[in-house]
Amino acid sequence: MTRTLLVQQFLNGLAIGSVYAIFALGFTLVFSILRIINFAHGAVFTLGAYLTYALTGSQFGINGLLANATLGVRLPFPLALIGGSLLAGLAGVALERVAFRPLRARGADPLLTLVSSLGVAVAMVNVMQYLFGAEIYSFPPRPFGNVPPAVNFGSEATPIPVRSVQVIIFLVSVAVLAVLTYLIHGTRVGKALRAVAEDPVTARLLGINTDRLIVFTFFISSVLGGLAGTLVGLSVSIAGPYFGIAFGLKGLAVIVLGGLGNIPGTMLGGLLIGLAESFVPSQHVAYRDAVPFALLFVVLLVRPYGLLGEAGSDRA
Amino acid sequence: MIAVAFLTTYGFLIVSMTLAALLALSLYIPFLAGQLSLASPGFYALGGYIAAVLATRVLPSAAGSSPVSALLLEMALAAVASGLLAVAVGVPALRLRGIYFALATIAFVEILRVVSLNLDITGGAVGIFGIPQPFASQLGYLWIVAPLLVGTMVVMWRLERTRAGRALVALREDELAADAMGINPTYYKTLAFTLGAMLAGVVGAISAHFLNTWNARQGTFDASVSLLAFVLIGGSRTFLGPVVGGLILTALPEVLRAAADIGGLPAWIARFLKEGRLIIFGTLIAVGSVFFPRGLITPELLGGPRHFRDPRRGSERPASTDGGPSARAASVDRPRRDAASGVAHLAVRRVSCRFGGLTAVNDVSFEVERGEIFGIIGPNGAGKTTLFNVITGLARPAGGQVVYRGDDLTGRPPHTVAARGIARTFQNIRLFGGLSVMDNMLIAQHLRTKAGVVSGALGLSVARAEEQGIRRRAWELLERVGLADRAGEAARGLPYGDQRRLEIARALALGPATLLMDEPAAGMNADEKRELSGLVRAIVAEFDLTVMLIEHHVPLVMGLCDRIAVLNFGQLIDLGEPEAVRQNPAVVEAYLGE
């Protein structure tokens, strides 16, 4: 592998890894306070991408109920990205209302909540298919105006070009991770979140409104999911309504690798899996999708609770 | 005539439903042992590829058709291959707990999918086409799948009522307590995982023929979650749940499609029923889990669960209530060599146990003589329970030795310790709460029975005779502690004192030579304590027991025990007869004096 390729792979790995991390943090946040994996998170990811696409004023395909429709507005891409992610966050709030709260109110088995979130995921994915059709969507070219298509990380003599999209994805992800870290460690809400994650009963006794906090967590989690969906869609394309399911699986690998409910672990897991994938030799590239899971399997055999996880963090 | 037309039209659906029910059972079997395995689709895919490759490349066949015998051979091979892979994957993966195990099985399915997508022998992304048909019509597959489903259900029905099935349920209820009852968790979890995998592999082999083509889209994560929905929506407390769940949820989308074809519906409704049927499907799963949290089929629904039936109605209860000689006979065949050879009955030698920086037990040594009642007292946190945990294999000592009748037990797992004749009760009561009192007693006799999955599932006379034997003994022991009237009740519904006594009866059911009791009188009133004292003294004589007893209530310990060890901050500060211990100033200061 040449040095150029090495640097390129590394930077690409960081970019995709950071998207994995922000997507998987959505899982982690919900898990840390509810001890439940939200299986609809992958569907929210897809929804976020479609919403951003719609907000850019692009036209829908011909197969869905919304054939050839466009939204009245035509936002510049960065605004559409923010808008789409916030709307995905609202969808997450609705999701909590429909699939999680009724079961929580009845004190149901956490496994059952997993199934109900799964049911909602199936419904969401198929509603999207019904509305948007199954075709592949691509974001309009040059979403950032006059930014050149590639950034040179080498010298003039030996250029190491990396797609600007990858660089932007990386920067956005890092910014989001920084904001999130501040949110969790520097604000009152974050403190409450950590308290509930530590011990929900005591937190409630201390006057923390857990229901409101859970809604807030679903909002943040789904904003992250929707944002990740748009970023991946931007990097490749929106590959149909089932787009988020495969990505959701990788997200699961990330959170388990890092240790369930562990926020730094999730960030580490995301980056590791992104890097591991990007360094798969090109002749074996067909096996790339198996890499996160092989890595996960091996790590679990050595560390049964993930890289940064601890025993007892699996009260699922 | 209408029936024939129906069967022909819906042949594909009927066979699909049956296959789905079987796959749901393949997930249910490990679930019975408390293991959420989503690996079934992986084994299903493997079985399918085995059948597809054999049928298209290896086994000779006339163009487009294949004999049923070839299919049966492929099913057998698929079962064997799936079973072997399941053991290879299960042994390491089953060390993982709860959701970690579930996610590891998802990883397994994904790895298998990507591999099959890339190998030549599996036809890569295209898959394998033109798998020959053993039957003239799709409905013909019922000849294979219907007996398979019925047979599997019969096996499951029997299994849930015999030794192996009870061991699985015990693991689901409380793995630690099951281990202390002599049930080897690794063995039974691997067994359940493997049986489920074999069933999934067989179903895959049939499906490959049935679908005529096989590719990497068979057996994916989507399938894992559908199967989970089958089990949980159907009901996970009896094997009928997954069967019903598989049948109904597979039929549902087709029913919606058929409904769309009914004339007279507005066009948009018809279109929605057709194209949006998965939306309805998903919504029903979400709604179903809210409104049927225990699934459609519950034990109560099936005419009252056997656990909660009045035991006196059954004929199984023996007429005589005099305690029963066979219960006592349990201890007679025990070797008495320790008395003769002079080897200590139970020797704790320089045992230490640490948790992180805390030394819970520090260099403790003593010997317990056969037939004595040996008390352990000490303030909270003195290391009493940890010492019990070290002896029974629940905690690994940092140093030292536990020697039982000349056998080194140090570091042995709890089920091995139980097999050597040491039973215990728990400070915070660890009954199998969701099961009946009787089931608790039957599970505890795991070590006294031998029936495996095969003899139990086939209902062989050996297994049946054994079953009668342990039931009789369970009744006798329940009579002994005064709980026979409550045999049919759920253990967690018993009053506190009864739960304590059931735990003692359950420990006795193991037929132990040594009984470790961790605060048996905790939470009892004075009368109950006196009664308990009498019970302990009586069973020591009756069952030829050696007893170690942790207790806080000083008068009880002083009156009951032959000797007493005093622990303080993990160290043995005194050991001797009650009166001597009572007068030791160090003991008084540490514990007694206030």
Contact A108 B229 (CB under 8 A): no
Q: Does B229 touch chain A (CB under 8 A)?
A: yes
Under 8 Å between Cβ of A60 and A66: yes
Contact A106 B279 (CB under 8 A): no
Contact B99 A289 (CB under 8 A): no
Percent of chain B past pLDDT 90, that is, above it, reads 54
**Is the pLDDT score of B330 beyond 80?**
no
Picking from B100, B106, B286, the nearest residue to A314 by CB comes out as: B100
Quote the tokens at residue A271: 């980056």
Residues of B in contact with A106 (CB under 8 A): 290, 293
Closest CA in chain A for residue B92: A301
The Cα–Cα gap between B530 and B280 comes to 63
- For residues B306-317, one letter each, b for 16 or more C-beta atoms within 10 angstroms of the residue's C-beta and e for the rest, the string is ebeeebeeeeeb
Q: Which long-range contacts (CB under 8 A, 24 or more apart) does A62-65 make?
A: A62/A133, A62/A135, A63/A132, A63/A133, A63/A134, A63/A135, A64/A129, A64/A130, A64/A131, A64/A132, A64/A133, A65/A130, A65/A131
Residues of A in contact with B115 (CB under 8 A): 287, 290
The pLDDT of B378-390, averaged and rounded, is: 90
Residues of B in contact with A304 (CB under 8 A): 95-97, 100
Q: What is the pLDDT of residue B453?
A: 79
- Give the phi and the psi of residue A137 in degrees, each rounded to 5: -110, 145
Question: Can you say how many angstroms the Cα of residue B128 is from the centroid of all Cα atoms in its chain?
Answer: 39
Per residue in A37-90, pLDDT (tens digit) is 898 999 999 999 999 999 988 888 877 788 778 887 888 889 999 999 999 999
- Who's near B317: CB < 8 A, 6+ residues apart? B311, B475, B484
Query: How sure is the predictor about B105, in pLDDT bands with cuts at 50, 70 and 90?
Result: very high
The pLDDT of B271-292, averaged and rounded, is: 82
Query: How sure is the predictor about B326, in pLDDT bands with cuts at 50, 70 and 90?
Result: very low
Q: For residue A153, count CB atoms less than 10 angstroms from its CB and return exposed for 0-12, middle for 13-18, buried for 19 or more.
A: middle
The Cα–Cα gap between A119 and A124 comes to 9
CA atoms A40, A46, A50, A55: torsion sign? positive
Contact B98 A315 (CB under 8 A): yes
Contact B289 A103 (CB under 8 A): yes
Q: Does B115 touch chain A (CB under 8 A)?
A: yes
Give the distance from residue A156's alpha carbon to the nearest chain B alpha carbon, in angstroms. 40
The pLDDT of B144-155, averaged and rounded, is: 95
CA atoms A223, A228, A234, A239: torsion sign? negative
Q: What is the pLDDT of residue B327?
A: 43
Cα separation values, B27 from B39, B241, B519, Å: 8, 12, 40
Q: For residue B357, count CB atoms less than 10 angstroms from its CB and return exposed for 0-12, middle for 13-18, buried for 19 or more.
A: exposed
Residues of A in contact with B118 (CB under 8 A): 286-287
Contact B228 A287 (CB under 8 A): no
Of A28, A94, A84, nearest to A58 by C-alpha is A84
Q: Does B97 touch chain A (CB under 8 A)?
A: yes
Q: What is the pLDDT of residue B63?
A: 59
Ranked by mean pLDDT, which of B91-100, B293-302, B451-460 comes out on top? Answer: B91-100
ipTM associated with this complex:
0.85
Under 8 Å between Cβ of A40 and A99: yes
Q: Does B36 touch chain A (CB under 8 A)?
A: yes
Per residue in A267-315, pLDDT (tens digit) is 999 999 999 999 888 888 888 888 989 998 888 888 888 888 876 544 3
Residue B340: other Cβ atoms inside 10 A: 8
Question: Can you say how many angstroms the Cα of residue A164 is from the centroid of all Cα atoms in its chain?
Answer: 20
Contact A116 B285 (CB under 8 A): yes
Q: What is the pLDDT of residue A261?
A: 85
Q: What is the pLDDT of residue B592?
A: 56
Q: Does B589 touch chain A (CB under 8 A)?
A: no
The pLDDT of A253-257, averaged and rounded, is: 91
Query: How sure is the predictor about B552, in pLDDT bands with cuts at 50, 70 and 90?
Result: confident
Contact B111 A293 (CB under 8 A): yes
Picking from B99, B280, B289, the nearest residue to A260 by CB comes out as: B99
Pick the CATH number of B327-333+345-592 from 3.10.20.30, 3.40.50.300, 3.40.190.10, 3.10.580.10: 3.40.50.300
Under 8 Å between Cβ of B571 and B581: no
Preferred mutation among B103, B115, B285 to probe A, highest tally of A CBs within 10 A: B103
Quote the tokens at residue B585: 């100033």
Q: What is the pLDDT of residue B308?
A: 41
Ranked by mean pLDDT, which of A136-140, B354-358, B510-514, B518-522 comes out on top? Answer: B510-514
One DSSP character per residue, B141-201 reads: GHHHHHHHHHHHHHHHHHHTTSHHHHHHHHHHH-HHHHHHTT--HHHHHHHHHHHHHHHHH
Q: What is the pLDDT of residue B11?
A: 87
Query: Could you state, in order of their start, the residue ranges of all structural domains in chain B?
Result: 11-219, 327-333+345-592
- Indicate the DSSP class of residue B64: T
Q: What is the pLDDT of residue B593?
A: 53
Residues of B in contact with A39 (CB under 8 A): 225
CATH of domain A3-142+162-302: 1.10.3470
Chain A and chain B share a number of CB contacts under 8 A equal to 139
Q: For residue A58, count CB atoms less than 10 angstroms from its CB and return exposed for 0-12, middle for 13-18, buried for 19 or more.
A: middle
Residues of B in contact with A257 (CB under 8 A): none
Between residues A66 and B549, the one the model is more confident about: B549
- Indicate the DSSP class of residue B131: P
Q: What is the pLDDT of residue B283?
A: 86
Q: What is the pLDDT of residue A311?
A: 66
The Cα–Cα gap between B103 and B98 comes to 9
**Is the pLDDT score of B310 beyond 70?**
no
Residues of A in contact with B279 (CB under 8 A): 122-123, 126-127, 130
Picking from B97, B279, B286, the nearest residue to A127 by CB comes out as: B279
**Is the pLDDT score of B444 beyond 80?**
yes
Q: What is the pLDDT of residue B252?
A: 87
Quote the tokens at residue A175: 């910014």
Per residue in A134-181, pLDDT (tens digit) is 888 888 877 777 778 788 887 888 888 888 888 888 898 889 989 988
Helices B267-275, B277-291: inter-axial angle, 10-degree rounding: 70
Picking from A37, A102, A287, the nearest residue to B290 by CB comes out as: A102
Q: What is the pLDDT of residue A103?
A: 87
Record the pTM: 0.87
Picking from A103, A121, A260, the nearest residue to B290 by CB comes out as: A103
- For residues B183-221, one letter each, b for 16 or more C-beta atoms within 10 angstroms of the residue's C-beta and e for the rest, the string is bbbeebbbbbbbbbbbbbbbbbbbbbbbbebbbbebbbb
Q: What is the pLDDT of residue A147?
A: 78
Quote the tokens at residue A251: 């997200």
User: Average per-residue pLDDT in chain B?
Assistant: 86
Per residue in A214-239, pLDDT (tens digit) is 999 999 999 999 999 999 998 888 88
**Is the pLDDT score of B149 beyond 80?**
yes
Between residues B313 and B170, the one the model is more confident about: B170
Preferred mutation among B31, B89, B94, B100 to probe A, highest tally of A CBs within 10 A: B100
Q: What is the pLDDT of residue A1?
A: 56
Q: Does B233 touch chain A (CB under 8 A)?
A: yes
**Is the pLDDT score of B524 beyond 90?**
no
Preferred mutation among A28, A120, A122, A255 to probe B, highest tally of B CBs within 10 A: A122
CA atoms B512, B518, B524, B530: torsion sign? positive
